[in-house]
Amino acid sequence: MLAFVAEARMVANFWLRPGNTHSANNVLQFLEATLAHLGEKKVGLLRADSGFFDDIFLKVLEEKGIPYIIAARLNQVLQRGLYQATGWWALEPGLELTEISYQAACWSQPRRVIVVRQSIRQRKNAPGKLCPSSKMILTFKDGVTGAFVTTLELPVAEVWRTYRGRADCENRIKELKADFGLDAFNLRDFWATESALGFAMLAYNLMSLFRQSVMRARVQHTLSTLHGLVLSIGGAWKTNSKTDEPKRLMLSIPRKHRAWLL
């Protein structure tokens, strides 16, 4: 499990779990540990995937006053609710939104659910689930649907746009895998593997701080790019045996970047 601070682009918490673990296993403990890491900082919004779509987890967030948008699991009961939904309106070609009030059998109260359906013909990379009953609940014959439970009172379109920002964490995960070996550590002992991955998270956070505090570039370069720009620069000491001039460090970096580097 991974928790990111979106604005800072840093890892707030990381837990390694066995591959046969249920997606909702230990999510409450993970939440408490993450909040402990953040200290007195207030969480303005929690966005999570459907692995955190759990009544107890939602109740804890509501008790703590933490606003949330969490992807819903499209079980058969919820799909029937989508079939009965009305008030669909087109935000963009191939994209329609609505909202329903949904209460699962184990819930003590109904919650607001935002529903989005998209045409995969018109929007090829549309995320969502192709439901078995999609011909009933979708006007698009080639459509996918998704749902999000939320405590926000924003308009439907704004809730959807806000949740879409969570996709940036997928880019962070790709970077962790490509540059920090997130999927390359597989030691004999489970806890040794978690420790190694913990150091990878620490390295990622240090590089994130470096990018924000030192580089301050509009583009957030990946580690592989920073390696060539800053971390691995060829150089040589130049001396003049005929004079008493001090040694000079010659760097293999373009002249226009030298003043910034030094």
Q: How far apart are CA 15 and CA 195, in angstroms?
A: 10
Output the furthest CA–CA distance in the chain (Å, rounded): 90
Chain mean position to CA 163: 10
The confidence score (pLDDT) of residue 11 equals 92
The residue among 165, 62, 153, 77 whose CA lies nearest residue 114 is 153
CB neighbours of 91 closer than 8 A, spacing ≥ 6?
97, 157, 160
The confidence score (pLDDT) of residue 132 equals 44
Q: Would you write out the chain's pLDDT as a tens digit for each of its 262 residues?
A: 899 998 888 999 998 887 777 767 789 999 999 999 999 899 999 999 988 999 999 999 999 999 999 999 888 888 888 878 888 888 888 888 999 999 998 899 999 999 988 877 656 555 554 444 443 344 445 667 889 999 999 999 999 999 988 767 888 888 888 888 877 777 888 888 888 888 989 999 998 888 888 777 777 777 777 766 666 666 667 777 666 777 776 666 666 665 655 5
Q: How many residues does the chain have?
A: 262
pTM for the full predicted model:
0.77
Q: How far apart are CA 218 and CA 140, in angstroms?
A: 39
Bridge partners (DSSP) listed for residue 5: 10
Tokens 């995937």 identify what position? 49
35 in Cβ contact with 88 (< 8 Å):
no
The confidence score (pLDDT) of residue 25 equals 77
The confidence score (pLDDT) of residue 133 equals 40
CB neighbours of 54 closer than 8 A, spacing ≥ 6?
24, 27
